[in-house]
Amino acid sequence: MRGGSRGGRGGKGKSFKSGRGGKKGGGRDVRTEPWGETTRKNDLFESYYKMGGFLEEEEFEKMWEYLAMDLPNSFRFTGTKADALAVREIFKQRYIPGITSVEFEGKPVPPPEPVQAFPDELVWHMKTHKKIIRRFAPFAEFQKFLVAETTSGNISRQEVVSMIPPHFLDVKPGMVVLDMCAAPGSKSAQLAEMIHGDEEDRVKRAANNKSPNIDGEGDYSDDGRSTGLLIANDTDYKRAGMLVHQVKRLNFPNLIVTQHDAAIFPSIELPVAEGDKKQYLKYDRILADVPCSGDGTARKNVNVWQKWTPKDGLGLHNLQLRILFRGLQMLKKGGRLVYSTCSMNPIENEAVIASAIEASGGVSRVQLVDCSDHLPKLIRKPGLNTWKVLDTTQINGEEKTAHMFTSWDAFLKTKEKYEKEEPERQFSNKISPGVFPPIATSEEERIPLERCMRVYPHLQDTGGFFIAVLEKLGDIKVTQIRNSHNEAEEQKAKDATRSAIPATTEVPAEREIEVEPEAESAAPLKRKLEEDQPAPPKRVKTLTENGDAEDPISLVEEPPKEENSSSLSNRATEAQVATPTTVVAKPAKLKPEAQNNNKEYYEYLPSDDATVDGILSFFGISDRFPRDRFMVKNKQGLLLNKIYYTSELARSIISQNKDRGMRFIHCGVVMFVAHKIKAQDHVKAPWRLQNEGIRILEPWAKNRIITCKSRDTLFRLLIEMFPKLPKDGTHELNEIGDQLNAMDIGCCFMRVEQDEEAGFPFPMVLPLWRHPGSANLMVDKDDRKAILLRLFNETNPNIINHVAEQAARVKEEARLAEEESEKEKENGESADADADADADTPMTEL
């Protein structure tokens, strides 16, 4: 159970006015109440999804109806499985019965329900509108629990669809995982949990000289500790900060946060023996949850309705392709990569997958994995093999016409026609061959795009999402960086061969939309194009930046050795001709630079460091606990007051790469903090254990361990800060006071064993400091409140801080004394004055 700090993100759906009249049939759906004024309607958006061949007409109608409804709130129980199940049980037993009995306007209000797609009832969603949540006490109480546990890190408020991709990565403890576009970090948190696995149980077994092998899966060579690593990366400085904030609370020593452009993510060096060839880190698993237009988030992100344009997806295709391609390069052979977006647009999805597979050398190098037997309860639709491409043209920024194209050739033909007939009409420079469906020359070469997964809003009342699982079968070629000259030459050659071009299709936007002749199922649709939306949704704006300009790194480093150079395959090659940016396959060349403010400074302490040695002896930490993984984050070393701990692989990577120009912006769990007390002489080890790192160390400790056995004692220690422990031995701290009386001043581990009968549904270990005349749990007020709520259902605890109260008393006494002395002074002064006056008077008189 984590103490943790603040984090998490709430699913804030704005109120709205449904564009299509809300859900029909059944009970009244409170989510469609017109509590807000935003109209959820966008003709061009609708036309594309209606005419693009995504769903049968009837199903499309249902999908569109759901897309215009508010999204249910959802959340996930997090942490180790045991912790997550324990908190889930408290939630089910304490809150569900009350919520289930609530009625609104004579009808039962739907209670939270587990989302069937995920195992163990660890994911829940709630369709109740926040107005109802605020109005009814059982919901309000539950809401309080939700907030407290989110703050503590035991619950993550995350959109249901966003939880899907990590499940398909099939991460095992011990794996090396890269999350390429990780901010704000909800999927990174899931991945970290998977890498962590049952680590705590395994370590406990190892520390007790039992085999740490619980389930036969994973690498147990590090005394049960997970040997895996998660590198969570994001290019955006601010968002990377959010990511650090989110993952810090995981207290996971096997985690590094970096800030790089994923499309040119640097190759990370591994340490090698002197004289040996350089080795680069390859990943067992990669998540590419790329920046996207986000049109699948329209249920919670109402901006999508106002701002959707076909250019959003077209503009992102190339960046998405570059990120995916770089990911495939860095993947181990046999490794797995999950590509995902919260967009339903095939240009950002299947088109990217097809182009990346082609660019990698085809299906013999990278295969789409059939995941139909995985998460069988997740309702999904197969990926698309055909789709159309929509874009708009304009003349002098006006008279927009929407066009739907079925092929690159149809697009070129249309362009040629207009160049002759209406040369002033501006065509998009965003359409490239790669955005169209691939054309296979043989069945063996066909990319089975149907293995991709599409999750639509109506299938299980979620947002829209796309997931594709890729496996690397062979080495991937490195794409040559193409310059404008060779692109232009290649284009000329291609143009010359394009003689028989099929008929063009266009959709005049201000008139009646014509359906292109190739499309069988399409029917004419009347629509009027709204004013052009000049600004794409905020998300798109931020995400279209590829970060190159900001990144002080150039693109010339040699790639890892195994990869040979060759050109991109046809579709991807053509894509480069038609789009302004090239697919760049090479990693960033790092510039060694002094560690600066953008990232943290890391200095590992030598394994015989005297300070660490002193601390570890004080707590009786086994010699088997590694001594070489402690670091400080300041040049002044131990002058600073925190000592961090990281996993072995994190240490190797940080040490090997920190001076190469890698932007490491977070790594390490705080293990010890210097304890500044006046009576230093009393204390043999003036360092205190930290809530963050205590669980990593505790199984290896022999000294300074006390055990709390009763709920009363725990309650007292939580509700009172610095309860008294007088020197004469009298105290009100029950078994804890007795154990502390026999202990020197300093920090200790306070264990709470799991004991259902005693009212402890999960084990805990908390740091406690024994002072000369008191004791204090080193747990902050928020975490105290969360534990009090979780274990004691204490909703509004009044936490007493004896020291603060005493300090306030002393201050008050000092103030009163000062007042008193002022008064006395005044009195004295006036008395003196009187006396003086008395004295003077006679003098004067004299």
600: tokens are: 């943290």
98: tokens are: 């009350």
Distance between CA atoms of residues 515 and 358, nearest Å: 30
> In the complex, what is the shortest distance from the CB of residue 295 to ligand SAM, in angstroms, rounded to a whole number?
12
Residue 475: CA atoms inside 13 Å, Cβ hemisphere, count?
11
> In the complex, what is the shortest distance from the CB of residue 294 to ligand SAM, in angstroms, rounded to a whole number?
7
Distance between CA atoms of residues 377 and 166, nearest Å: 16
User: φ, ψ for residue 328 (rounded to 5)?
Assistant: -65, -35
Contact mark string toward ligand SAM, 386..405, x via CB under 6 A = --------------------
> In the complex, what is the shortest distance from the CB of residue 434 to ligand SAM, in angstroms, rounded to a whole number?
18
Dihedral of alpha carbons 388, 18, 343, 54, sign: negative
| Identified binder of ligand SAM from the candidate list 90, 160, 176, 181, rule CB under 6 A | 181
Q: Is 547 in the site for ligand SAM (CB under 6 A)?
A: yes
Q: Which residues of 758-788 are buried (b: 16+ CB within 10 A; e: fewer)?
A: eebbbbbbbbbbbbeebbbbbbeeebbbbbb
DSSP class of 396:
T
Residue among 672, 585, 676 at smallest CA distance from 629: 672
Helix H or strand E encompassing 478: strand 478-479
If the CB atoms of residues 89 and 548 are measured against ligand SAM, the closer one turns out to be: 548
Helices 237-248 and 186-196: angle between axes, nearest 10 degrees: 40
Q: Is 162 in the site for ligand SAM (CB under 6 A)?
A: yes
184 annotated ligand-binding residue? yes
> In the complex, what is the shortest distance from the CB of residue 797 to ligand SAM, in angstroms, rounded to a whole number?
32
Distance between CA atoms of residues 239 and 829, nearest Å: 64
> In the complex, what is the shortest distance from the CB of residue 104 to ligand SAM, in angstroms, rounded to a whole number?
33
181 annotated ligand-binding residue? yes
Of the residues 292, 342, 708, 747, only one is catalytic, namely 342
| Identified binder of ligand SAM from the candidate list 53, 173, 291, 587, rule CB under 6 A | 291
Q: Is 262 in the site for ligand SAM (CB under 6 A)?
A: yes
If the CB atoms of residues 323 and 366 are measured against ligand SAM, the closer one turns out to be: 323
If the CB atoms of residues 210 and 538 are measured against ligand SAM, the closer one turns out to be: 538
If the CB atoms of residues 235 and 776 are measured against ligand SAM, the closer one turns out to be: 235
Binding span for ligand SAM by CB under 6 A among 16-24, 32-40, 257-265, 696-704: 257-265
Contact mark string toward ligand SAM, 225..254, x via CB under 6 A = ---------xxx--x---------------
> In the complex, what is the shortest distance from the CB of residue 577 to ligand SAM, in angstroms, rounded to a whole number?
22
User: φ, ψ for residue 512 (rounded to 5)?
Assistant: -75, 140
- Residue ranges in 311-330 that form contacts with ligand SAM under rule CB under 6 A: none
> In the complex, what is the shortest distance from the CB of residue 265 to ligand SAM, in angstroms, rounded to a whole number?
8
- Residue ranges in 620-649 that form contacts with ligand SAM under rule CB under 6 A: none
| Identified binder of ligand SAM from the candidate list 546, 573, 579, 713, rule CB under 6 A | 546
Binding span for ligand SAM by CB under 6 A among 182-190, 470-478, 560-568, 742-750: 182-190
Dihedral of alpha carbons 293, 346, 296, 231, sign: negative
Q: State the CB neighbour count (10 A cutoff) for residue 346.
A: 29
If the CB atoms of residues 241 and 448 are measured against ligand SAM, the closer one turns out to be: 241
| Identified binder of ligand SAM from the candidate list 378, 452, 543, 662, rule CB under 6 A | 543
- Residue ranges in 724-783 that form contacts with ligand SAM under rule CB under 6 A: none
If the CB atoms of residues 138 and 185 are measured against ligand SAM, the closer one turns out to be: 185
Q: Is 186 in the site for ligand SAM (CB under 6 A)?
A: yes
> In the complex, what is the shortest distance from the CB of residue 770 to ligand SAM, in angstroms, rounded to a whole number?
41
| Identified binder of ligand SAM from the candidate list 88, 127, 187, 285, rule CB under 6 A | 187
Q: Which residues of 315-343 are buried (b: 16+ CB within 10 A; e: fewer)?
A: bbbbbbbbbbbbbbbbbeeebbbbbbbbb
Dihedral of alpha carbons 160, 165, 168, 172, sign: negative
> In the complex, what is the shortest distance from the CB of residue 181 to ligand SAM, in angstroms, rounded to a whole number?
3
If the CB atoms of residues 184 and 737 are measured against ligand SAM, the closer one turns out to be: 184
Nearest-CB residue for ligand SAM: 181
The type of residue at 208 is N
339 - beta bridge partners? Answer: 288, 468
Q: Compute CA distances 544 → 261, 319, 399, 582, 584, whole Å.
A: 12, 7, 26, 14, 16
If the CB atoms of residues 76 and 225 are measured against ligand SAM, the closer one turns out to be: 76
| Identified binder of ligand SAM from the candidate list 11, 112, 153, 184, rule CB under 6 A | 184
If the CB atoms of residues 42 and 301 are measured against ligand SAM, the closer one turns out to be: 301
423 annotated ligand-binding residue? no
The burial of 408, by beta-carbon neighbours within 10 Å (0-12 exposed, 13-18 middle, 19 or more buried), is given as buried
- Cβ pair 406, 519 in contact under 8 A: yes
Residue 376: cis peptide before it, omega within 30 degrees of 0: no
Distance between CA atoms of residues 438 and 445, nearest Å: 10
Known active-site residue 342 = yes
182 annotated ligand-binding residue? yes
| Identified binder of ligand SAM from the candidate list 193, 199, 222, 261, rule CB under 6 A | 261
Binding span for ligand SAM by CB under 6 A among 259-267, 424-432, 460-468, 553-561: 259-267
Binding span for ligand SAM by CB under 6 A among 58-66, 176-184, 449-457, 631-639: 176-184
723 annotated ligand-binding residue? no
Q: Is 182 in the site for ligand SAM (CB under 6 A)?
A: yes
Distance between CA atoms of residues 329 and 318, nearest Å: 17
| Identified binder of ligand SAM from the candidate list 87, 183, 435, 777, rule CB under 6 A | 183
Distance between CA atoms of residues 603 and 594, nearest Å: 13
List CB contacts of 662: < 8 A, sequence separation 6 or more.
Answer: 258, 260, 266, 268, 590
Tell me the number of residues near ligand SAM by CB under 6 A: 21
Which residue bears the tokens 């109209």? Answer: 39
If the CB atoms of residues 281 and 324 are measured against ligand SAM, the closer one turns out to be: 324
Q: Three-class SS of residue 732?
A: coil
Q: Which residue ranges make up the annotated binding site for S-adenosyl-L-methionine?
A: 181-187, 234, 261, 289
- Active-site positions read 342
Binding site for ligand SAM (CB under 6 A): 162, 180-187, 234-236, 239, 261-263, 289, 291, 543, 546-547
